[in-house]
Chains A and B, each alone.
Chain A
Amino acid sequence: MASSTKPVSRPDRNPVGVALVSLAGLVLLWWAVSILAGRPDLLPSPPEVARLIVVETLSGDLPYHLGVTLLRVTAAFAIAMGIGAAIGIGMGMRQRLDRWGDPWLVFALNLPALVTIVLCYIWIGLTEVAAIAAVAINKIPLVVTVMREGARTLDRELAALAQVFEFSRTKRLRHVILPQLEPHFAAAARTGVALIWKIVLVVEFLGRSNGIGFQIHLYFQNFDVGYVLAYSLSFVAVMIAIELLILQPWQRHAARWRRA
């Protein structure tokens, strides 16, 4: 009897370990390229950028600007998720609203982020409200799109169950509709955070006097790549921490019944 010799793929036993080794490889590659380039003013080495991060942290500048940017990201994220989810669920559940709203959605999806930012600054002024509004407006169409897809796939039999068993509006939302939309919420949130912080940096670059984007603008004018990398990589680290410590655990918690 012949036996198969085809190798069997095994799942990684330690995905976090693999991720850390992979990231360490990226840092080593950067280090090697910086040595080969021999231009520390254009591409400083990882230890040099780490030193600048420590210096800026001890001076208090890095925590301050990081905190300001994080607040803007949080505010824009909350507004975009709230408004985008409400519109998306509405469009997914009501055909007429979807028919009328879809052309607006296509328009909004194709509006360049830069245009929204510039217009918000012109119409509202160089204020915090304009900055957060510009970011939220950029993100809302994407949230609408994801949540609309989720609402379109809501289970009709569960809706019938809720109707016959006379679920209250709150009970229907909490126990029937939102659990079905949870994967879509998670998807919108994860892609949302990644997009929002990049737009926040542009908004700060163009019209704020603090935040990571402002600092990058400042050091860009001095062509100081070391500081640009120190500030941007610090914020990337914070966003990765949010992804690993908040978003992924939330997504796992929401999907625990699927693994049962």
Chain B
Amino acid sequence: MRIDLRGKAFGAVPVLGPIRLEIGEAEAVALVGPSGIGKSTLLRLIAGLDTDFEGTITGTGTLAFVFQEPTLLPWRSVRDNLTLATDITARAADALLAQVGLADKTALYPSQLSLGQRRRVAIIRAFARAPETLLMDEPFASLDAQTAAAMRAMLADLLRARPTRLILVTHDERDAASLACRTVRLSGNPAVIVEASAK
């Protein structure tokens, strides 16, 4: 996958400067940098949610996105949230939910789950799509330290079981370390890559 960005602006305000990045199959990259620098904006460009930019992004393949908020359909059951978004069967959805410790929650509505459980549903929904590129935007934000650690371990297990290209936006260096990510740091105004660890 190749990102060749010449620039991204909101109106007259440039947010991202020239960014060139290549990410291999099954490679994990953590985008780090200060808040508001443009990490989430870059992720949305990669996802195709914002097409108003100069440059090209190619080779993403099938995408899945784990948003900052769990972003589940509140009027559908946990199981339906998986089957609707990914076209897998109800049985397959139940098996995946059991894998992340939600076997007894499949028929509940998202509002009946804790934040940590909703985030688990969002993550397993993304894996259920069998994506070539998995985009995650601060997936462990607002969780207590213990839950966040358990979630990191769960994500590492899922990635081991199904190697996937991962682009993770985070401000927490522990996320990058626990997932053995290549770290790409954004800084400046407009933001550019100022530091990238070796592959």
Tell me the A residues contacting B by CB distance below 8 Å. Answer: 157-158, 160-161, 163-165, 167, 171, 175-176, 179, 257-258, 260
Q: Mark B66-88, 1 if CB is under 8 A from A, else 0.
A: 01010101111000000011100
Within the assembled complex, what's the spacing in Å between the Cα atoms of A216 and B95? Answer: 65
Which B-chain residue is minimally distant from A176 (CB atoms)? B73
Which A-chain residue is minimally distant from B109 (CB atoms)? A260
Which A-chain residue is minimally distant from B47 (CB atoms)? A164
Question: Which of A158, A163, A167, A179 touches B49 (beta carbons < 8 Å)?
Answer: A163
Q: Are A161 and B85 in contact (CB under 8 A)?
A: yes
Check if B48 is an interface residue, CB within 8 A of chain A.
Answer: yes
26 A-B interface contacts by CB (under 8 A): A157-B67, A157-B69, A158-B71, A160-B44, A160-B65, A160-B71, A161-B65, A161-B71, A161-B85, A163-B48, A163-B49, A164-B48, A164-B63, A164-B64, A164-B65, A164-B135, A165-B129, A175-B76, A176-B73, A179-B73, A179-B75, A257-B74, A257-B76, A257-B109, A258-B111, A260-B112
The 5 closest A-B pairs by CB, nearest first: A260-B109, A179-B75, A164-B65, A257-B75, A165-B85
Within the assembled complex, what's the spacing in Å between the Cα atoms of A171 and B64? Answer: 17
Tell me the B residues contacting A by CB distance below 8 Å. Answer: 44, 47-49, 63-65, 67, 69, 71, 73-76, 84-86, 108-109, 111-112, 129, 135
Question: Which of A160, A163, A175, A258 touches B73 (beta carbons < 8 Å)?
Answer: A175
Point out the residues of chain A lying under 8 angstroms from B67, CB to CB.
157, 160-161
Within the assembled complex, what's the spacing in Å between the Cα atoms of A176 and B85? Answer: 11
Give me 14 other A-B pairs in contact (C-beta within 8 A), A160-B65, A164-B64, A175-B73 excluded: A157-B69, A157-B71, A160-B67, A161-B67, A161-B71, A161-B85, A163-B48, A165-B129, A167-B84, A175-B76, A176-B73, A258-B111, A260-B109, A260-B111
Q: Are B49 and A257 in contact (CB under 8 A)?
A: no
CB of B78, distance to nearest CB on chain A (Å): 11
CB of B85, distance to nearest CB on chain A (Å): 5
Within the assembled complex, what's the spacing in Å between the Cα atoms of A164 and B49? Answer: 7
Which A-chain residue is minimally distant from B128 (CB atoms)? A165
Which B-chain residue is minimally distant from A260 (CB atoms)? B109
Which A-chain residue is minimally distant from B73 (CB atoms)? A175
Within the assembled complex, what's the spacing in Å between the Cα atoms of A163 and B44? Answer: 11
Which A-chain residue is minimally distant from B44 (CB atoms)? A160
Point out the residues of chain B lying under 8 angstroms from A258, CB to CB.
111
Within the assembled complex, what's the spacing in Å between the Cα atoms of A129 and B42? Answer: 56
Which B-chain residue is minimally distant from A255 (CB atoms)? B75
Q: Are A165 and B73 in contact (CB under 8 A)?
A: no
Which B-chain residue is minimally distant from A164 (CB atoms)? B65
Within the assembled complex, what's the spacing in Å between the Cα atoms of A235 and B76? Answer: 38
Point out the residues of chain B lying under 8 angstroms from A176, CB to CB.
73
Which A-chain residue is minimally distant from B129 (CB atoms)? A165
Given the known inter-chain contacts A171-B84, A179-B75, please indicate yes or no for A165 contacting B64, CB distance below 8 A: yes
Q: Are B49 and A165 in contact (CB under 8 A)?
A: no
Within the assembled complex, what's the spacing in Å between the Cα atoms of A171 and B87? Answer: 11
Within the assembled complex, what's the spacing in Å between the Cα atoms of A258 and B76? Answer: 11
Within the assembled complex, what's the spacing in Å between the Cα atoms of A94 and B75? Answer: 25
CB of A126, distance to nearest CB on chain B (Å): 46
Question: Which of B48, B85, B108 touches A260 (beta carbons < 8 Å)?
Answer: B108
